Amino acid sequence: MNDIDIELICVRKTYGNNLVVNDINLAIPKGEFVSLLGPSGCGKTTTLNMIAGFQEPTGGEIRIRGRNQAGVPPEKRNIGLVFQNYALFPHMTVAENVGFGLKMKGTPRAEIEQTVRTALKSVHLEGLEARYPKELSGGQQQRTALARAIAPRPSVLLLDEPLSNLDLKLREAMRVELKEIQQQLGMTFVYVTHDQEEAMAMSDRVVVMSGGVITQEDKPEHIYNAPRTSFVADFIGKSNIFAVSLRPAADDRQEIVINGSSIALAIAADQPKVATAKFCCIRPEDVRVVGNDVSAKDANVLDGTICKTVNLGAHLDLWIAVDRDIMIKALVRSSRSNQLKVGNPVSISIAPAAIRLLAE
C-alpha cells in the first residue's frame, strides 16, 4: 500500500529574483488527505498551481502516479481542482457543469447522466440539476464545484481554499462532509488553506509552509502537540512562546530560564533533547490557574496578576502578568469567571511535561 500519488522532488519556483517555493520535497501516498497550511505568501498556492500544471517549476521535478509531469499541460494530467471562487460555468446548468469533464472526454451521454447523478448525490445536490449557478446559494455552488471536480474520477483532487467564501456554520459542516466524501471515494486530496482549524479537522497529514519552505509535516495531533519551530507553535493554535536559556539544575536535571527575567521552570526529563533550545512553547490550556490554594506537589508555581480576560463562551482567555514584562496566556472554563477578575492576584502552575523546547 505504498503507492505514491504525487511526488515533489526539490521543486522550486522563482519569479525574477523572488524565490517563492524553495526546494520542496513531498511525497503524498494514494488516498491521503494532505493539507498545505501556511499564511498568505508562503508558497502553498504556487505549489498547488505547479501540481495542477498552470505553472511550470523553475527547478526540480513533479511526479504524478510515478510519471514526471514536465511539459504535460493541465488538461492531460487527469487531476481535479476545486477553485476558491468555484469558477462554475455561468452558461451551463448544474448538470452540465458537473458533466463537463466527461463530455470533453467523449463519454456516451447515458454514462454522463449516470455519473452526474451519482456525483450530485454524493454532495447532496439531488434535484438541482436544471438550475444555473447564479440561482444557487454559496454553499450549493461550492458543492457543485466539488461534484464537477470529482465526476471524472481523477485520482487526485486539489482544493484551493474551497471553504473560505462560506460562513462559519456552513464551513464547519462542509469540513465534516469533505472528509466523508474523501474517505468514500478513496481519493487523494491536497487541500490548500490558511485556516489551521480546517487543516487540523480534516487532514491525515498537515504540511506547514512558510517563506517557500516546508517547516514541518506531520499528523495534525503531532503538529499541535509537538511543534518543531516557534513559527509552527505560533501558527497552529494559541501558545505562549518565550525565548529561553537552558541551565543545569539539581539531580542532574535541567531547567530553563525565560530570558530577561528571573523565572526558572523545571522541564520534564523525557523532553526530547534539543541541544540548542532557544525558545519554549506552552499551550494556554496547559497553564493551570490554581488560585490561592497551592499544594506542595504543584510544579513550576508562579505568582501573577490577571491583566485581561476575554470570554469565549465555554472558555475564558486570561492574560496573567507574572513578571514585569512576562505575560502568560491561560485558558480556563468560564464557570470560574467569578473568581478570576482583572486585577486579582493568582498563582499558576505549569506541568514540566507541558513545556516544549524549540530550536528556532
Residue ranges that bind another protein, judged by CB under 8 A: 52-54, 73-81, 83, 85, 87-92, 100-101, 104-105, 132-134, 148-149, 152
When the beta carbons of 98 and 207 are compared against another protein, the nearer one is 98
- Closest approach of another protein to the CB of residue 148, in Å: 7
- Closest approach of another protein to the CB of residue 134, in Å: 5
- Closest approach of another protein to the CB of residue 52, in Å: 6
CB proximity list for 278: less than 8 A, separation 6 or greater? 243, 244, 358, 359, 360
When the beta carbons of 133 and 227 are compared against another protein, the nearer one is 133
Integer angstrom CA distances of residue 73 from 68, 154, 178: 12, 15, 27
When the beta carbons of 148 and 356 are compared against another protein, the nearer one is 148
Residue type (1 letter), 56: E
- Closest approach of another protein to the CB of residue 124, in Å: 22
108, three cell numbers? 456516451
Beta bridge partners of 240: 282
- Closest approach of another protein to the CB of residue 257, in Å: 53
**Contacts for 127-135 with beta carbons within 8 Å, 24 or more apart?**
128/94, 129/93, 129/94, 129/95, 130/93, 130/94, 130/95, 131/93, 131/94, 132/90, 132/91, 132/92, 132/93, 132/94, 133/86, 133/88, 133/89, 133/90, 133/92, 133/94, 133/97, 134/90
When the beta carbons of 50 and 348 are compared against another protein, the nearer one is 50
Cα 277 from Cα 176, distance rounded (Å): 38
When the beta carbons of 26 and 149 are compared against another protein, the nearer one is 149
- Closest approach of another protein to the CB of residue 89, in Å: 6
When the beta carbons of 104 and 176 are compared against another protein, the nearer one is 104
When the beta carbons of 28 and 206 are compared against another protein, the nearer one is 28
Contact by Cβ (8 Å): 337, 291:
no
- Closest approach of another protein to the CB of residue 96, in Å: 10
**Residue carrying C-alpha cell 466523508:** 180
- Closest approach of another protein to the CB of residue 100, in Å: 6
When the beta carbons of 100 and 231 are compared against another protein, the nearer one is 100
Q: HSE-up of 142 (CA within 13 Å, CB side)?
A: 20
Cα 333 from Cα 67, distance rounded (Å): 53
Q: In what order do the strands lie in the sheet with 287-291?
A: 287-291, 345-350, 301-311, 315-321, 327-333
137, three cell numbers? 446559494
